Each structure stands twice: as C-alpha cells, then as structure tokens.
Structure 1
C-alpha cells in the first residue's frame, strides 16, 4: 500500500523535481478497462509518479466518445470494480493518489446502481430552501468518500444564459447569478461537511455559449467588465467563501486574450483568476483530450506544458504524461514547479487527514431526500388558468411517451381514475381514433435524452403529433425531463405544463399527488426558454 501522506515540510525535500511534476498530472481511469489497460495505468503511475486519477465509466463514455458513435456497455458491478481499481492503483503509487470524479448529481453520473440525485436545473427550481441543496451536497460527498473518491469535480457554477447551450444546460442551477451563487455555496458546504474536496467550474464561465467544447472552441466575445457583471460573479463570490479548486474551461475570450484559449492563457489563468480574483488554491484544467484545445497541440506533451506555463496546477485527462513531464522539466523553473506542487500536496494533506471523513453523522435517506426535492421543485407553467382540477373532474385521455422507463405516474392514474394509458411509441393509429372522444388530454413525456442533441431523442413524427395535439385539444403536459424540451415541442398557448424535471419514482409520485390536487407546485423555472412563452 502507498505510504501515508507526509506534511509538505517533509515532502518538499523528499520528492525529486521529476516526482513533483508527476504529482501535477491527473490521468483518466476507466472503470471498465481490460486487465491489459489496468496494468498499463499501473505502469504509468509507478514510472511517472502520477498524482491523481479521474474516474470515468468506460472508453465508450462521453469522456472520450464525443460523437456518441460507440455503444456504452452496462456493467452491474461497476461500483465494486471502482473500489477494486482504487485499491490497485493506490498500491501501485509511491505517494498516495488523489481520486477524483465528476459526480455532479452523484456517483450515478459514472457508475451504475449507485444513488442518483436531481440535476442542478432541478435544484435551481427550489425556492427559499437551500437546506435541501446542502443535503444533496452532503449525500454526494458521503457517497464519494465511501467509494474512495476524495475529490468531486463539482459543482458547475456557469450561468446558463444561452438556451442553445449544448453542454451546460441542465448542469447549471439557472440563469440568475445570485441564485447560482447561493445554491452552489449550499452544495459546497454540504460536500465539505463530509470532507470531500470540490472544484467550481468552468472558469471564466461556459454558460453563454452555443458550442460544445468537447468538439470545438466556444467563443465568448465579452469584455472583462461584462464578465464581472455576470459570468465571473459566482466565481468571485465563492472564492471569497473558500473553495478547494477552480476548473478552467476551454473557451476563447478574444477581449481578454486574442491569441490563446483560456486553457493556455496566462492572462486568464494567472492574470485574472490568480491575481485579480485572488484565488490561492489549486487551478485544474478541464479534460485536455477535448477537441477544443487538443487539436491545436498535435505534438505530444506540448499542450500540458503550455497550460502549466499559463498558470495551471493540475493537468486533467492528460493523454501524454511522459512527454508532458519532460517538457515541463525542460521549460519551467524549479520555483514555478514548487508553487504548483505545494498547492496539490496541501490538497492531499486535507484529503488524507484523519479528521477529513466523519465516521458517523445523521443525514437524510436518499429516497426521502429526493422526495423532499420533488415536493419543492415541481413547477407549473400555466398559460391557461384551467389547471389539473378541470382534467381530473372530467373525462380525459392518458397519453404517454416513456420508452424504457418505469411509468409509475400513469400506472397510478389508471388505478385512481380508471383511464387507460396509451403509449405514443406504438399506438398512433388507435390513439387518433380515441382522441375523437376526448377534448382533454393528459400527456406524460419522458425525453429519451437529457441532452439537447438530436432533439432530445424525439423523432420528427412525434414532435409534429404533439404540436398538432396541443393546437386541437386541451393538453396538460407533465414533463419528466429537461425543461428546455419545451422549446422544441411547439405547444399551443392554451396548453399547460407541469415541470417534474426528473423521472425518479419519488418525482413521479409527487406528480400524481399534484394531479389529484393533493400537492401544490412550489418550484419556479430557473431559466429563460428561447421560444416557449409563459406567464
């Protein structure tokens, strides 16, 4: 097993300069790797004294499969495999490794059969109850530590002011800078209570973009003054409160640096984040394999060296550690290397402290917490004052689109109102005949995808059907997914919508209670939609 972490005062003399540079590299580790790939990772850890690993599901997951052409294989035993690999990789390390993961909505973001918590956009709908968001951060922090993860690369503090954003969207708390800051702070405090390290991202703000930085370089053509008023606001506020690390996104900001993207810009990393905003903690890159920056540096190791020179401390998802270490050793001064090494080692001291992981603490059960969030986030978007009451007191038809989902919502409506559920995925002809008998339609939509790519997974025939339906009938829509879906549905102004946000059983049951008049929608939409208008 690796040695216990020693204080920086000892480590600064104990580690060679090459070992110190190795500590600045965070490699991508894949839970479903082959034995050959695992052994290669063990070799890299041993030979290059790697300092951290970031775990992903598999090499077919979104981390490397940007175009989504590879099929992700489901693995029921991912959690046990994660713990097994953590033990093996720690055993291969001369110095303890920091284990990291993107667990924005829990380990379920990467690992099957683990607790999933609501997306940030759902939490953004909660009004005046930040205790619930603290509880989410606390639960996620606890789940991380139990699995062996020290560092959750979360939360996203981007202000999602662009409805066309393909990569942030549902991962953001909303488009209001004050709400984003307040909710992110509650989440951070919850994680900290469990001793879990954090990282606010994606500096200096990825919200007002329409380009996916996995595929290309987003451009934000704003001045520093404009950025300070909005994008930079959460970063400024949270840095003052205290955060462990800041992740720099892959962005082009020509009015701040006309030559380099933020990843390799000393003006943005050192000049703005370090000097102007006064951040003294660890600065970590977004994944360096992302095409926004990787294509600009085809020669192995040059991107890592350029990011380090600009002021980066940790090089996340480096694909060329050997060459990167060599380039940094050739280009950087000992004092500059020591600065970054000290920051990452101090983070390790926190993570491996005997007091960093509370042994016992009473916290909410996952299901209880999710139910409480459902009760507080459910949001009515009603243009027609006739709400659910008119529907439940009259004859209505149940329509559902829930491919591969457990539809608790309509099962309960069938039981309580003796109304058959018609599946839009397979019963189009029968439905059209049945619709002639009804003016009121209850429609439950479970979008196939949480991401906007390819119309959230809806086909054109279904979208056309829904648009025509809302023009001819009184439609009450329960949307169990991303609220940005409303922008593509083309609903008639007479339609009413209840945003449920998640498809968890607890959220579906709360939606039933709402329909039956037993629950009030307490949430408020935290974003501005592009085309869907509401009051």
Structure 2
C-alpha cells in the first residue's frame, strides 16, 4: 500500500510542480484590449448563445444542399461557436465558409484536421509528409518550417485551429489509427518534433492542438470503431504518454484534444477519457495547469453505451472540463441538456464563463474581433506555392533512411561492373522509381508469373533493386508484405546482391524473419512521386542519406538507426530555387523553344539545365518530325553531330595525355608514321585541336563515290547487300567498300594546307585522331569510349549506330537525304564522313539524350570527377580548357570551344571566360560554366527535313536560351 501511495504521490507532485510553470496560451499581445472585448461580448450574450459557443460542428464543402441547409439552421438557431471542415476543395470551402460566416452573429472559430497539410482533407492543395516521415528527419528547423507553411496555408483558407500536431508516442507497431500519424517512439524525438511543428504553425497565427490526450500511441485498437484501453500505470503514463504535453504546455500550446480511450489507472470507473473529470479537470487542468482550450474528440465515436439519451454525452463532456464539444450527435439537444443543467444549478455560471471566455479569447487572438471574409482570388495558387514544393523536397531528402548497408553497397559505384534489375512488389505503382533509376544507368524491369520464372529471368543480373510499393493515398492503408512476396524476396537475396527499398512505414520490415542475405535496406516511408524520385537518387549517390528510424522494427532495426552516405557527385534533380535560380524566369525558355518549333526551325527539342550538380530544367518540346505525332520524350536520342568531338575523341585523348603517352606539343609525325615527310608532319595536337593548323575545314568524301551521271552511289563503291569486301554500312541496305577508309585517310594526309595561318574550324583533326587512338589501343572508337567512359558514367543512352541497338521509335530522324543516301536518315549518322566510317567518326556519329550529355559535361565541370570515380586530374582539364591562341584572335581551347573574343561567337556573351562547350551541325549545343556551375544542353534535329538553312543559328535560339538561363540566376 505504501508503495502505491508513494507512486501516486510522486505522480501528483510531478504534475503540480509543472502546473506552476504553465501560462495562458490564449492571451493576445494586447491582453487588456482582448479582455475588454471578451467581457463585452460575453456580457451581451443570452444563455443559449453562451452554450452554443461550446460547439464545433463538422462541415464538408462537397456536401449536398439539404445537409448545407441543416448547418445553416444550426448556426442560426444554436449560435454555435465554430466549424470543423473536412473533405472537399479549397475554393468550395472558402466560398462556403464566407457564406456561413455571414450568417453567424458572432464570427465562427474554424478548425481543420490537417495534420500534414490541407490536402489531408482537401483534394487540390499541397500535402506535406506524414509525421512518421518527419520523425526520421534530424533537423528540427525543417519541422518548424513545415508547421509554419501548414499554418500559412490554414490561415489563407480562413482556418484558425489546426488539430495538429499528433504527440502520441507510437510504441505499438500494431496501432491501427496512429502509426504514420506519430513522429515515432522516442519521447524526446516526438516532443522536439511536436514543439517545432507547434512553434512553426503558431508563428503563422494559427493555433495548434496537441492530441490525443493522455496518449493514444500504445494501443492496437481503432478508437473510431471501439473504445481502446490504455492499461499502463500512472508512472508509465506520466513518463511516456504525458511527457510531450508538459513541454508543449510550457512553450505555449494553444489547445489539446482529449482522446477517446479507456484509461483504468487514471479513471477507474471505465468512463472514456474525454468524459472523465479526473483526466480532463484534475490532471490536464489542475495538475498540469493547462489553460488553453480543451476539445473533446468527436462525440459521435464509439464507447458511449452508458448514455442512453441523446445529449447526455455532451453534458458529461462539459462537466468533465472540456471547453469545446466536437461533432456532437445533435447540437440542439446537447445545448438543451447543458442549459437545463445550468438552470438546475448543476453547472455554475463560473464554469460556463470559464469555457466560453476561453473560446472568445481564442477568437480574438486569431483576429475574429475584426473578421474579414476569405479572399478568393489566387486562392489555389497561394495554397500551392513554389516554396512549399521546395520544402517538401527537402523533407523527403532528409527523411529517407538507410537501415542496412553491408560492405557499403550503397551508393552504387562502378556501374560498368553492375547489371541491374528492378523487381516491383506491393500493389501500388513504382514506375516513377524505375524511371528515375534509369536516369543513372541501365536498369531493366523484370517481372515473372512465378518464382521460377522470375529467378530465371534474373540470371543475367548481379544486382537487384526490389521496390516495395503500397498505396500512399492515406496513412492507414495496408503496409505489410504478403507471404508470397517474402518468399520471393528471400530467394532473390540468395543469389543476388539485393537492395530492398520500402515505400511504406518502416513497420513493413517487422515481417522479415531474416535479413542475412539482403545487403542494403532503404526506408523511403511513402510511395509519393517525390519519395520515389529521391530514393532513386540516393541509391546512386546523387544525394546523401540523412534520415534515422523514428521507431524500432522487429529484432533487427532500432529507433535512431540510419547509415549516412557520402554523395558521389552524380547529377540529382530538383527545383531551381534550391540552387539559386528563379523558376518563373526559367519558364521564359519554353516560349523560345516553342518559337523555334512553330517557326519551322526544328521539329523538336530536348533541353536540360543543371546548376551546382542538380538538374533544374529538363523538358522536351515538339515532335520527332513535322509529319508524325510522336512527341519528343526524355529518353529519345538525337544525332549530336560535332558534340562527338568532346564526347568521344577529346576524353580519350585527354586520358592518353594524362598517362604521358602524348603531350599537347606532340607532332603528328610522332604518333602516325604516315605523316612523316608530309606537309602536316610538324602540326601539334595543341594547334590542330585549337583549329589553328592551316587544315582545310572538310572534304565531301562521299561526292567522290557518286556516279558522275546519275549522282547516285556508284556501283564501284557500293552494294545493297553486305559482304566482306563491302562491309561499311552507310545507311539501311547500302554498304561502302571496306577499303575506302584508307582512301579517306590518304585524302586528308595529302591535302593542301590553307595559305594563311588563322583560326579555321576543321573536322580533319578528328579523322586523324580516330586513326591514332584506334591503332594505339587496337580497338575501335565505339568500344573504347563505352569501356573507358560511358559504362561507368551510366551514359546508357549514348552510343554510335543506335539503329542496331534500340528501337527506331526512340531515335530522332535527321534528314530526308536526296543527295547521297536517298532515304530518310534515322538511326544512322547524318554526317556523310562519319557514315563512310561505318557510323563511327571521331568528329561525328554519337547519338545521345540531353541527360547523358549533361553527365559528361558535369564530369568536365567537376574537373574530371563523377559518380565516385576520377576520370581526369583537374590540371588535365585545365590544360585542354585553355585558349592558347587568344592573342592571335583564336578563341578556341584544345578541343573545346570557348566564348567569343568580340561581339559574335558561340555564346550569349554572358558566360564566364572559363566556360567551354561545343555545338553540332544538327542543331545541338552543350556548354559548361565552372564559375556559375551551369551545364546547358540543347538537342535538336534542325536538319530535318532539309539541312540547307540554319534558322536556329540565324535566330540565335540556342544562345537566347542561354541568356535566359543566366538571367534566372538570383544569387
């Protein structure tokens, strides 16, 4: 007995000590004026009006007219104090709210159950992550920002009370109603998150509401369906369930919602907590000293079997000490019951005055003493702000958690050694995740009708990413693996390196009986579009892993666990504002791109802009051709023409220079014996790659192979079927003599030099270097560049001769050729000289998409480092990105084009002199600026259907877009 007495005494002492600290959170800054207004309003009210203020009635903006009329009648007849909105759209709600407010004699206090943003209840507004997701975030400043943004949304929609944050400490994985709504199981983490959220929301002028008092986190029953029991003793409840409330009360929490629970240790009679005077008055108000508003949970919930008559539960709730009766079964009867008790002396004037004046204090604090209707103009835009998107993205990035990472498999490195399959589990969509994974390397979607079928298909892969996707629609959706899925998971793990990524709450992992063979496990918490995108970026090391588990799961994962990983400096994808750029200004690019297409300058365009290693603009415009209906999409590939020079030949040469095989001063005669004694023997690599070597610009090699009379490919040089002697495929069903490549090299070697040394762009250096590089390695250029660069970069859309490798549906046509090959050129290189080299030229021949070109340009921008691998030393890049002949009026670097020295040139004139890039005949352009950390890629097929006029160049389309990019920089 003495022990029980000691526990109860300690419990009361700890609460009463706290009570001395709590202050009235409903006081406004101008408390004297507030009190005057409250007293004046209260003294002017009749008894029915006072009692009516105690009620908050549920309203849905999508309800039918009959229901609406009942609400209007309730406002007029019962003088209710407030409304709680749920379901519907923001504009409808705002219009309805303005109408209902105009009917009420005293402005209504508006509440909303928007725990993670308005879209919990509204169908058109921005939602933030669930509390469980937020619980994984270590930076509580982000949580405070979230509360602030939700508060701003609420205020804009005329909402004064948001029934958030949930402060339940979820220690029960089987909790069917809290779960994702909780910040987690650690009391300090939950308290800190709730406090940050509360401070943020209340700083926006919206009052917070902590729920569900005294604590709903450790129950396995749904209080909407039954009356759950919290069976813990007072000591446990005081140290765990009540812990967050104490700190929030001290910091100014405005209101509390009392849970619908049975708590025998605090209320031995079995009365639900929301109706218990001992819980509401003795503990919450007296012992804890809470002076804010106290709301019941919905009075229509289960567990009121002892109340035979309608309205009795309202009276009991008020007698227990609650201030606001939420969602009464019948307001009219409830008001009558309370008035009857007042008139009978069961309720004193002081008791009624206490609650009503608190409600009036709250109304004053939120500005209802000077009520203004909701402004409808720009409402939806104001609820879907760009800064909300920025914050949402930051939240997701900071939440995703790596809970297992054997041998540091994540982030994935050495892509050239990995064959990766994606296997979807769960009943929801994972296509966004798969598409994002494919941005980094080849990832194949593998499906099977049976385990045998699936495992057979996985034999060709050494790494498997399993995405477990379940519905993100509500936090209460099913989250468990099926038995079949678990069996398949274990079997895949036996034979493959396995990355498991769960897009549900972490409790899904509780069903794993073993994790021994699963190398890496990622918890992404939700199956939203952004969670799928960011999780894929994390897997490839484009963003860091920062999160930690907010709850313990099974025997393997404890709360607080989370592996950090360093980024590998691969491109990530984000919104412009996160890298100091303006989205609205970037939208001007759209108009220029559309101008180019509408003006017949090119059928289609791919555009990409990255800054600080993040892609912030990536759009496609137009169609493959003017005639067809195929829109340009992300993974379509373009013939990039002369970009090949800096995407293939240049990096292979830089590699050789860095190894000491050649230097920039190496002469042609030193690397190619054929050039000894020629007029080009003493030309250096530096001079010829700077286009300062008196080399002729080009040679129409194909003209020499046409019939003099018909101007068609001569039978002397071509066949329509392939053979050993005619083995060079220049296009579909047209094969050039195998020995003609020697003739090309001879023509170049024997060609005259230009009479004057000056800047003159030439393709010849890249024909020459192709020969040298292939002879040095004894391998063809297309194989070399894949093995040395593209495979490890994850440039899986970059290739020579795509006709043989991917579907023609993904290949953008370049021209309808009526002078050489006499057919539509699609999948074969447009450049005739490259076509005569079997499609593999050092100067042209590469097909790619904007995303892959950006990877290579970003590697250059990062001084030779990308994806955790160093391709070049910084000084190597600097050697090649130097204008050695600027004093002679030549702007070019070694292989790279550079900004103009005067007014005219390849850029907008707004880039740094340290920037570099190249353009291509088909309309392509790639440029990187180290000073502003910008990569810009423009791909087009301006040569379709005819290459004669270059309107893109004449109209400065590419450089006008470049100028707009720089104008969008805001820092």
| 2:366 corresponds to which of 340, 347, 351 | 351
Structure 1 404/245 Cα, relative in aligned 2: closer, same or farther at 3 Å? same
Quick one: which of 218, 225, 246 aligns to 2:228?
218
In structure 2, distance between residues paired with 1:117 and 1:95: 33
Cα distance between partner residues in 1 of 2:307 and 2:399? 44
Give the corresponding residue for 1:341: 356
- What do residues 435-474 of structure 1 show as CA deviations (whole Å, max 9, x unaligned)? 2333421011221257786843765544543354445543
Equivalent of 1:368, from 390, 406, 427?
A: 390
In the alignment, the residues of structure 2 paired with residue 490 and residue 93 of structure 1 have an alpha-carbon distance, to the nearest angstrom, of 59
Q: Structure 1 residues 453, 121: closer, same or farther in 2, change over 3 A?
A: closer
- Shift of residue 427, structure 1, vs aligned partner: 8.8
Q: Does 1:275 align with 2:286?
A: yes
Q: Is 1:103–1:152's contact at 8 Å kept on the other side of the alignment?
A: yes
| Structure 2 match to 1:248 | 258
1:140-193 Cα offsets, whole Å, 9 max, x none, are 001111111111010001111111111111111111111111111111111112
User: Within 1, Cα distance between the matches of 2:35 and 2:83?
Assistant: 16
Structure 2 residue runs without a partner (length 5+): 1-33, 342-346, 376-381, 562-971
Tell me if the contact between 1:448 and 1:458 (Cα under 8 Å) persists in the aligned partners.
no
Quick one: structure 1 residues 98 and 447, their matched pair in 2 at CA, closer, same or farther if it must change by over 3 Å? same
Of 135, 146, 153, 2:163 maps to 153
1:293-325 Cα offsets, whole Å, 9 max, x none, are 344434211111111111111011112111111
Residues 43, 499 of structure 1: CA spacing in aligned structure 2 closer, same or farther, 3 A cutoff?
A: same
1:529 shift after superposition: 1.3
Question: Is the 8 Å Cα contact of residues 437 and 536 (structure 2) preserved in structure 1?
Answer: yes
The separation in 2 between residues aligned to 1:500 and 1:367, in whole angstroms, is 18
Q: Which has the higher contact order (CA 8 A, sep 6+)?
A: 1
CA separation in 2, counterparts of 1:25 and 1:246?
15
Structure 2 residue 453 is matched with structure 1 residue 456: no
Note the alpha carbon deviations across 1:391-442, whole angstroms, 9 max, x for none.
7541121112475546322102224322222468x89786343123334210
Q: What is the deviation of 1:222? A: 2.0
Deviation sequence 1:66-110 (CA, Å, 0-9, x none): xxxxxxxxx7xx221111211121122111111111111100100
Which residue is 1:65 aligned to?
A: none
Give the corresponding residue for 2:202. Answer: 192
Matched, 1:396 2:426: no
Q: How many angstroms apart in 2 are the aligned matches of 1:222 and 1:457? A: 28
Task: Say whether the 8 Å CA contact 2:50–2:356 is kept in structure 1.
Answer: yes
Output one character per residue of 1:376-398: Cα deviation in whole Å (capped at 9) or x when no partner. 22211106334234575411211
Paired position in structure 1 for 2:141: 131
Matched, 1:44 2:54: no
Cα distance in 2 for partners of 1:526, 1:400 equals 25
2:174 is matched with 164
Which of 253-262 and 496-505 deviates more? 496-505
Residue number among 103, 110, 128 corresponding to 2:121 in the alignment: 110
Q: Does 1:514 align with 2:566?
A: no
202, 210, 218: which one aligns with 1:208: 218
Give the equivalent residue in structure 2 for 1:68: none
Q: After alignment, is 484-493 or 400-409 more displaced?
A: 400-409
Q: 1:461 to 1:31 in 2, by over 3 A?
A: farther
Is structure 2 residue 39 aligned with structure 1 residue 9?
Answer: yes
Pick from 271, 287, 309 the counterpart of residue 298 of structure 2.
Answer: 287
Judged with a 3 Å threshold, the aligned counterparts in structure 2 of structure 1 residues 429 and 88 are, in CA distance, closer, same or farther, namely farther
Which is worse superposed, 432-441 or 256-265?
432-441
- Are the counterparts in 1 of residues 480 and 511 from structure 2 also a CA contact under 8 Å? no
Equivalent-residue separation in structure 2 for 1:470 and 1:406 (angstroms): 20
Higher mean C-alpha displacement, 436-445 vs 426-435: 426-435
Task: Choose from 496, 502, 524 the match for 1:500.
Answer: 524
Between structure 1 and structure 2, the one with the greater Rg is: 2
Q: 1:131 to 1:473 in 2, by over 3 A?
A: same
Are the counterparts in 1 of residues 168 and 178 from structure 2 also a CA contact under 8 Å? Answer: yes
| Displacement after TM superposition at 1:505 (Å) | 3.4
Residue 224 of structure 1: CA displacement? Answer: 2.0
Shift in Å, 1:13: 1.0
Alignment of 1:367-516 (within 5 A): 367-382=389-404, 384-389=406-411, 392=415, 393-401=417-425, 405=429, 407-422=431-446, 431-448=454-471, 455-456=478-479, 460-470=483-493, 473-488=496-511, 490=513, 492-495=515-518, 496-516=520-540
Q: RMSD value over aligned CA atoms?
A: 2.7
Q: Deviations over 1:17-45 (max 9, x none)?
A: 11111110111112220011111111111
Q: Residue 518 and residue 304 in structure 1: after superposition, are their counterparts in 2 closer, same or farther (change >3 A)?
A: same
C-alpha distance in 1 between matches for 2:513 and 2:122: 35
Q: 1:402 to 1:370 in 2, by over 3 A?
A: farther
Change beyond 3 A, Cα 1:468–1:85: farther
What is the distance in 1 between the residues matched to 2:497 and 2:461? Answer: 9
**Structure 2 vs 1, CA of residues 430 and 112 (structure 1 numbering), >3 Å: closer, same or farther?**
farther
The residue matched to 1:166 in structure 2 has which SS? coil
Distance verdict in 2 for CA 1:470–1:54, change over 3 Å: farther
**Length-normalised TM-score, structure 1:** 0.88
Partner deviation per Cα, 1:472-493 (whole Å, 9 max, x = no partner): 5432112222111112355533
* Correspondence for 2:550: 526
